[in-house]
Amino acid sequence: MPITTDPPSPGPATSDTATGPTSARARWLVLGVVSLAQIVVVLDATIVNIALPSAQKALGFSNDDRQWVVTAYALAFGSLLLLGGRLGDRLGRKPMFVTGLVGFAAASALGGAAPSFEVLVGARAAQGVFGALLAPAALSLLTVTFTDPTERGRAFAVFGAISGAGGAVGLILGGALTEYLSWRWCLYVNVPLAAVAVVGAVLLLGKEQRPADQPRLDLAGVALSVSGLVALVYGLANAESDGWSSGPTLGFIAAGVVLLALFTWVEARVEHPLLPLRVLLDRTRGGSFVAVGLVGAGMFGVFLFLTYYLSTVLGYQPLETGVSFLPMIVGIVVAAQVAAPVVTRLGVKVPVTVGFATGAVGMFLFTRLGLDSTYWADVFPGLVVLGLGIGLVIAPSISAATAGVDRADAGVASAAVNTFQQIGGSIGTAVLSAVAATAATDYLDGRNPADPLVQAMAGIESYTTAFTWAAGVFALGAVVSALLLPHGALEVDPDAEPVLVH
């Protein structure tokens, strides 16, 4: 028999009092299904990083082409998230959730079996497309399932820990699969995970209450947002190979900025916008979106450059490199749980600001790495401190970014969270990569590039420069959070849309 959370009444009763403990148990099962789906999406932002050398050797593509295995996913995912969120609001979160999972699994299977570079890149782009349907549906399901402040804090602590730690877990899993099976299993692994999540969604989620009169889809907003984000991310990714002053780099970045400005202008005037500006202009949500973007920029940067350092300087094997990130995962999980009761009582300003400041200290510790550094003395402390900082930022920010949003905007607000994190990560990776490349080139100027020691020192210079900039990103996050985020506990929507669970 299906168990349905009763529609909210004018009185103070909550869904718990309406349906009893069985409903609460069902809500936590929904959290499990949604979290599994989030793992699938977040893993693929990093799981192929360690597998890239093996994939490159197997398929024979060049170093210049290698970045597109990562960028194809980021471009498709980041640029289509807003559309995916709005489709979830219009067509239903369960259909989008299940469609995203099935499509993501199929694209992963195709990528795992890819006979050529072109097929692999196409499969990665397809993963991004279906991930853009899946991610906002997952988060909006969580948003409308947990409306009680205490339950919501615990649920988003779990979800935030997964979002923050998933990238590092991807490095560990990618290293293990590459070393003991094949790089192809870094893609195949999504199939069984998605299958379990689909079964859980079919069994637990029922029909939603959606308005019969659906507004028109904002096609102009879709076109401008997708083209603007693609142009911006493509231009930034191009900077590493062609430089910041090249025509294509500047042209695509400029085009992206202009298109996104036009998108904002259109959204302020269209009757049914793709991204209602009221979602962004709320002080708590707006500050949280910025926080999510900045933590994504710094977080994905450390994954990339610390992976390079561990493998090239310390000589770690793929699995060993991945396992090295475990202290950061533990730090994220612990801090996310600690932040939950703080958010309930004090709001997001304190934990997010402290988290960014802590993360800046962790990044600063990495700037001291050298050729004679060791893992336990020099890398381990930075990972612990950085993990604690990220955990304090990401769980409260995600919770605040979706709190109190109108039920009709739950999907697009959830999509905006993922968009800011993904685009922030893409921009951060592109900018830090270009900065690191420039630092290495400047170090080699006037020195003998054939000398192995000179080459190694150039690498160290590039990594530490990237860590310095990343520390600056976290410091900026602390300042912005202190200025933008308000004091006080979060407000949740008492009329949030009821979720049906079986």
Tokens matching residue 489: 């506990």
CB 438 within 8 A of CB 307: no
Sign of the C-alpha dihedral, residues 246, 251, 253, 257? positive
Nearest CA among 466, 75, 45 for reference residue 256: 75
Residue 207 confidence (pLDDT):
67
Domain membership of residue 356 (yes or no) is yes
Q: Is 211 exposed, middle or buried (0-12, 13-18, 19+ CB in 10 A)?
A: exposed
Q: Are residues 167 and 259 in the same domain?
A: no
Where would I find the beta strands (DSSP E) of 276-385? none
Task: Please write the tens of the pLDDT for every residue from 34-60.
Answer: 888 888 887 877 788 778 878 888 998
Of the three residues 273, 289, 313, the one that is the final residue of a domain is 273
Of the three residues 241, 256, 273, the one that is the final residue of a domain is 273
Q: Are residues 101 and 51 in the same domain?
A: yes
Expressed as residue numbers, the domain containing 228 is 219-273
Domain membership of residue 214 (yes or no) is no
Q: Are residues 82 and 137 in the same domain?
A: yes
Q: Are residues 266 and 329 in the same domain?
A: no
Residue tagged 């148990």 (tokens): 25
Q: Are residues 247 and 382 in the same domain?
A: no
CA–CA–CA angle 343, 344, 350 (5° rounding): 25
Task: Please write the tens of the pLDDT for every residue from 322-344.
Answer: 889 889 988 988 898 888 777 77
Total of domains in the chain: 2
Domain membership of residue 339 (yes or no) is yes
Look at residue 256 and tell me whether its pLDDT is greater than 90. Answer: yes
Q: Are residues 382 and 286 in the same domain?
A: yes
**Other CB atoms closer than 10 Å to residue 161's CB: what's the count?**
24
**In the structure, what pLDDT confidence band is assigned to residue 491 with cuts at 50, 70 and 90?**
low
**In the structure, what pLDDT confidence band is assigned to residue 213 with cuts at 50, 70 and 90?**
low
Domain membership of residue 3 (yes or no) is no
The crossing angle, in degrees rounded to 10, of helices 349-366 and 452-484 is: 170
CB 321 within 8 A of CB 171: yes
Tokens matching residue 221: 């907003």
Q: Are residues 236 and 267 in the same domain?
A: yes
Domain membership of residue 13 (yes or no) is no
Q: What is the mean pLDDT of residues 254-260?
A: 95
Residue tagged 């599994």 (tokens): 36
Domain membership of residue 54 (yes or no) is yes
Q: Are residues 468 and 328 in the same domain?
A: yes
Residue 3 confidence (pLDDT):
35
Q: Are residues 154 and 242 in the same domain?
A: no
Task: Please write the tens of the pLDDT for every residue from 358-396.
Answer: 999 999 999 999 999 999 999 999 999 999 999 899 888
- Averaged confidence pLDDT in the chain: 82
Residue 343 confidence (pLDDT):
75
Domain containing residue 432: CATH number: 1.20.1250.20
Q: Are residues 243 and 325 in the same domain?
A: no
Tokens matching residue 390: 């990220």
Domain membership of residue 10 (yes or no) is no
Q: Are residues 149 and 249 in the same domain?
A: no
Task: Please write the tens of the pLDDT for every residue from 411-456.
Answer: 677 778 878 887 888 788 778 888 888 898 889 988 988 898 999 9
Domain membership of residue 499 (yes or no) is no
Can you tell me whether residue 3 is helix, strand or coil?
Answer: strand
Q: How far apart are the first and last CA of the chain?
A: 7
Look at residue 14 and tell me whether its pLDDT is greater than 60. Answer: no
CA–CA–CA angle 367, 234, 238 (5° rounding): 60
CA–CA gap between residue 273 and residue 265 (Å, rounded):
11
CA–CA gap between residue 102 and residue 159 (Å, rounded):
21
Q: Are residues 146 and 162 in the same domain?
A: yes
